[in-house]
């Protein structure tokens, strides 16, 4: 990662303005078309959850603002962001796990499968939900039982407050398309409406061409 020189940074005004807000985060919820994605993974027997985590992580890594964090009152830009996500354990309770992001899908899939299989054994009482020693992550979750229209996130008062939080719901058929609702929450200190919109657009672009990325 590199430290951003605030005084010579285009985001200086936004950062200093919203830094004064006790709740400087906001979220946007949007529907995306996963028709081509769902057809491709079913045809090729690929896992839905892992494949979607991969594409979302790959897409958001391409937007610089999504790789910004506030660390010790400084703005830093990470080279790459990795996914941390919730997994339903065998005891019927969610726990968190994570794995490193690999640009190669097969390498990512192997790492994610290993992490998920370990997490499914049961809730780990000796670990935190998130690894507070690192902020180079996206926090990802899902509600695969319902299609929602909006989401609120429980927010801590700690260093993870500038970590983007992503959640999606149950996909459903709309005429000849399969649609999925995704909510993305970001800190307005670091991500304004334009890069947030670019994040949604980039996710849709990758989902429209699964054959290019999931091989």
The predicted-structure confidence for 162-207, as pLDDT tens digits, reads as follows: 999 999 999 999 999 999 999 999 999 999 999 999 999 999 999 9
Per-residue pLDDT of 33-57, as tens digits, reads 999 999 999 999 999 999 999 999 9
Tell me, rounded to whole angstroms, the distance of Cα 124 from its chain centroid: 22
SS3 146: coil
Interatomic CA distance for residues 215 and 211, integer angstroms: 7
- Give the pLDDT confidence score for residue 129 in this predicted structure: 66
181 neighbors 154 (Cβ within 8 angstroms): no
What are 120's two structure tokens? Answer: 């499914």
- Give the pLDDT confidence score for residue 125 in this predicted structure: 61
163 neighbors 135 (Cβ within 8 angstroms): yes
Mean pLDDT of the chain: 94
45's CB contacts (< 8 A; 6+ apart) are: none
What are 196's two structure tokens? Answer: 């947030």
Per-residue pLDDT band at 134 (split at 50, 70, 90): confident
- Give the pLDDT confidence score for residue 126 in this predicted structure: 60
List the one residue out of 86, 80, 71, 97 whose CA is nearest residue 162. 71
- Give the pLDDT confidence score for residue 66 in this predicted structure: 98
The reported pTM is 0.95
66 neighbors 199 (Cβ within 8 angstroms): yes
113 neighbors 144 (Cβ within 8 angstroms): no
- Give the pLDDT confidence score for residue 186 in this predicted structure: 98
- Give the pLDDT confidence score for residue 89 in this predicted structure: 86
- Tell me: pLDDT of 93 over 90: no
146's CB contacts (< 8 A; 6+ apart) are: 169, 170
**Percent of the chain residues topping a pLDDT of 70:** 95
- Give the pLDDT confidence score for residue 160 in this predicted structure: 92
**Mean pLDDT, residues 76-94:** 92
Residue given tokens 């672009």 in the structure block: 205
Pseudo-torsion of CA 92, 39, 100, 84, nearest 10°?
A: -40
List the one residue out of 100, 131, 136 whose CA is nearest residue 2. 136
């Amino acid at each position: 990662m590199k430290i951003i020189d605030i005084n010579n940074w285009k985001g200086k005004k936004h950062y200093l303005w919203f830094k004064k807000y006790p709740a400087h985060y906001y979220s946007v919820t949007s529907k995306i078309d996963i028709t081509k994605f769902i057809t491709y993974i079913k045809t090729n027997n690929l896992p839905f959850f892992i494949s979607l985590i991969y594409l979302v992580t790959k897409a958001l890594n391409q937007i610089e603002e999504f790789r910004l964090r506030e660390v010790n009152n400084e703005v830093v830009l990470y080279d790459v962001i990795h996914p941390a996500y919730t997994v339903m354990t065998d005891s019927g309770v969610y726990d968190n796990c994570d794995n490193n992001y690999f640009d190669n899908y097969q390498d990512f899939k192997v790492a994610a499968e290993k992490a998920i299989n370990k997490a499914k054994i049961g809730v780990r009482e000796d670990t935190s939900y998130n690894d507070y020693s690192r902020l180079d992550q996206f926090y990802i979750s899902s509600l695969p039982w319902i299609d929602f229209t909006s989401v609120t996130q429980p927010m801590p008062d700690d260093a993870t407050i500038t970590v983007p939080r992503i959640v999606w719901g149950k996909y459903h058929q709309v005429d000849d398309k399969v649609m999925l609702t995704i909510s993305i929450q970001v800190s307005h200190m670091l991500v304004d409406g334009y890069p947030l919109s670019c994040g949604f657009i980039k996710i849709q672009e990758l989902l429209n061409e699964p054959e290019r990325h999931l091989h």
